[in-house]
Amino acid sequence: MLYKKTLRHLAVAAAAVLAPPAMAQQNQQQDSVIIDKIYDNALTSYESYENLRYLTKQIGARLSGSPQAAAAVEWSRQVMERMDLDTVYLQEVMVPHWVRGDKEIGRITNSKLIGSADMNIAALGGTVGTGKQGLSAEVVEVKSFEELEKLGKKKVKGKIVFFNRPFDNTHVITGAAYGGAVDQRGGGPAAAAKLGAVGVLVRSMTNDIQDVPHTGSTRYEDGVAKIPAAAISTRGAEQLSSLLKDDPSLKFYMRMTSETLPDVLSYNVIGELRGTEKPDEIIVVGGHLDSWDIGEGAHDDGTGCMQSIEVLRLFNDVGIKPKRTVRAVLFMNEENGLRGGRKYAEVAKAKGEKHIAAIESDAGGFTPRGFGIDGNDGQYAKVLSWKPLLAPYGLHDLTRGGGGADIGPLKGQGTVALIGFRPDSQRYFDYHHTVIDTFEQVNRREMQLGAASMASLVYLLSKYGL
């Protein structure tokens, strides 16, 4: 306790020196006390962690259009309705309904070195199926779209293209490595189809070498043949690549029965505390309620949703009456369409709503490191002026650039600042889009630290604006 009080006193002293003139020392002291209460409450509460347990264990995977996604909408609405908020409502949005079908089969066949070997694969979201008989073809490996183009139709036609560009593990922030590799998943099948390929395998999007395949969306193009596309585990990718060097004529068999069904009506789930002084200025905090269908969607993005609800609970429990409206939004369909985020922005624009800030938690429930701020110089400077209040809680990284997929469509609506919550990134892509993204992988204390971090920033935004 003595150490904690010392940190608080140091924060107040530093803030008094660094704060702009409009923020008096008395306010800084009050803010420090409130933030301390937020953390005390969060770190001694099990409520949001138990909510995550229910979401992941009782409802499970929540791909848009599925019965589980519908159940998650109704359950989360009921959770917020029990919280004595000013408003809880559903916002209609039509979402895609893609289904994976039978368990995928992947197999190396007629290899001169090993004969045959089963490979762990996962259909990419939105892919077409292979037909019940599956498909078998020779494999051609590439690490870039430039390599693919150089091969040309003569060497690609009738084959399975294997995109095998790994993460660049020299990046300390693993999201940067993901960004440098994910284009082959999103655009690879369409690019390969233009050259006559019959199927695609993509190295899983992870910095680890593991047997677990990582799914994720792919995109087809109008006027281009839709060919089956699957992710292969990184260990499988390493083995396949090694075998191809000695036996380029080996074949790969893949079977997937995926299909896309008609769109389904779903909802964003929204709860808010209305501002006491400037209710028309809105601060959004949110995550996406949908998840991929092969795990439990715990880190991606059950934690983000439960942290967003937790922000509202913390305000109520601590007794914070926000000066500006604070709105928690659980977006639907981030994973394979982003329609929830687009619908929210569309409605906000039609209503003429004034959003001053939007915070998204969609990077896992790991130990908080800070926030990324996508805003103008004045907005960034104001957030940076709060660093002495936030740094004692581990929030040292307040950097330019940030936001998130679901809040991205708000960009350009007035001067809204888009803010991404940034936890430690090192383990996120071990679990991202996999069967092992389960409740057991989330640490309660780390998750609650994240919720307290978000609530503290929202408190400052609600009091001082941007």
Could you give the residue numbers annotated as active site? 334
Half-sphere exposure of 147 (CA within 13 A, CB side): 12
Rounded distance, CA 435 to CA 177, Å? 21
Give the C-alpha distances (Å, rounded to integers) separating 278 from 84, 291, 355, 383, 419.
Answer: 20, 35, 12, 19, 21
Rounded distance, CA 374 to CA 354, Å? 17
**Cβ-based neighbour number of residue 460 at 10 Å:** 21
Q: And the tokens for 335?
A: 């994973």
Helix (H) or strand (E) holding 185: helix 183-194
Q: What are phi and psi of 223, to 5 degrees?
A: 85, 0
- Tokens 């002293």 sit on residue: 13
Q: And the tokens for 415?
A: 């001067």
Rounded distance, CA 324 to CA 275, Å? 4
266: alpha, beta or left? (left if phi > 0; alpha if psi -120 to 50): beta
Q: What are phi and psi of 136, to 5 degrees?
A: -135, 135
CA-only gyration radius of the chain, Å: 24
- Tokens 């800070």 sit on residue: 370
Rounded distance, CA 310 to CA 80, Å? 10
Residues constituting the chain: 466
DSSP 57: I
Measured torsion, CA atoms of residues 445, 449, 452, 453, in degrees rounded to the nearest 10: -170
Cβ pair 418, 411 in contact under 8 A: yes
Helix (H) or strand (E) holding 327: strand 324-331
Rounded distance, CA 233 to CA 211, Å? 5
Q: Please provide the distance, in angstroms rounded to a whole number, between the alpha carbons at the two ends of the chain.
A: 33
Residue 223: strand, helix, or coil: coil
